[in-house]
Amino acid sequence: MLEDIQGKKVLVSGAGTGIGRGIALGFAEAGASVALHYSHSGDGAASAAKEINDAGGKAKTFQADFSDAQEVLDLGKEALAWLGGMDALVNNAGITFNRAIEETTVEQYDRLYSVNVRAPYFLSQAVVPTMSKQGSGSIINLSSVHAFEGMTHHSVYAGTRGAIKAFTRQLAIELAPRGIRVNAIAPGAIFVENYLKAMPDFEEASLGSSIPAGFVGAPRDIANMAIYLASDAARFILGQTILVDGGTTSWMPFSEDFKEAFGGQFGQGYVPGT
CB atoms within 10 A of CB 60: 17
Closest Cα to residue 154, out of 222, 205, 103, 215?
103
| Strand 180-187 to 241-244 pairing | parallel
Q: Is 157 tagged catalytic?
A: yes
Catalytic annotation, pick one of 157, 195, 228, 270 = 157
The three-state secondary structure class of 91 is strand
Strand partners, 181: 138
The answer to whether the CB of 72 falls within 8 A of the CB of 116 is no
The answer to whether the CB of 140 falls within 8 A of the CB of 229 is yes
Residues belonging to the chain:
274
- Residues carrying an active site annotation: 157
